[in-house]
Amino acid sequence: MTAIKIRVGSVPQEKSTPLFLHLFCRSLIILCTSLSVVLSSVAICDGYWLLAGRQMFGLWYFCSLEKQQSFQSGYQGFKASSNCTRHLEDAGVEGLGMGLAVCRSAITLAVVSAVFGLELLVMSQVSEGRDSSRRWTLGAWLVLLAGVMAVGGVATFVLWLGTFATLFGFTLTFWCQFTATFLFFLNGIAARHIQHIAPLWSFSGNPDKPISVLP
């Protein structure tokens, strides 16, 4: 029988992402998510987010400040008095206790969601195939959910205390939470987008080489 020769034409290759860059992006997403969890946890544990005159508003306490002066250096400043209270209604803001309870709950749940999402992102790196892809996708959605809840918590705090809020009145821990919220969104979107990046395919052999097929 006569051998039938089939010439395989050149197969167009899609532009692929280098494997090193792919792994580097995944590692950077995991690292930044870990940093955002730490920043948000520090902001929640400290809780003092807004300084307005002689009042300090926090997630857990409300404190009135008293003026102190150093007679040697002439320095004047404020320090928290010993009558910090968890009865946030004493601040004179209607519904403040309920508003900050919503804020605390949203931000705390955001951290919990980010922790579970981070765990799934890490576990996806030690698994293969569909399990790895599913864990990464679910972890990315959990990190995005953490960003949504964190935005809700921060917005609740700012809107409820809008009459006292000033740009320079927010404390360092508030800006830590603001940065963590931004990182939640950034990492979640990046983790979702990286799933659409084509992996590196190795193409071996000569595509124009004829293949003999015997009946």
Show me where the domains of the chain are located: 17-198
For 70-200, where are the E strands, in sequence order?
Answer: 76-80
- With 0-12 / 13-18 / 19 or more C-beta atoms within 10 angstroms meaning exposed / middle / buried, residue 114 is buried
User: Residue 67: its pLDDT value, please?
Assistant: 57
21 sits in which H/E element:
helix 19-46
Residue 151, CA distances (Å) to 103, 108, 212 in order: 10, 12, 63
Residue 50, CA distances (Å) to 59, 61, 84, 160, 178 in order: 10, 11, 14, 12, 13
Pairing mode, strands 76-80 and 62-69: antiparallel
CATH architecture classification, 17-198 = Up-down Bundle (1.20)
Q: For tokens 């569909």, what's the residue?
A: 130
Q: What is the pLDDT along the chain (215 residues), one digit of tens a residue?
A: 444 444 444 444 444 445 777 788 888 999 999 999 999 999 999 888 888 777 888 888 878 766 554 444 444 455 544 567 777 666 667 777 788 889 999 999 999 999 999 999 999 887 777 888 888 989 999 999 999 999 999 999 988 887 787 878 898 999 999 999 999 999 999 988 887 664 443 333 444 444 444 44
User: Residue 194: its pLDDT value, please?
Assistant: 82
Q: For tokens 């000569």, what's the residue?
A: 206
pTM: 0.73
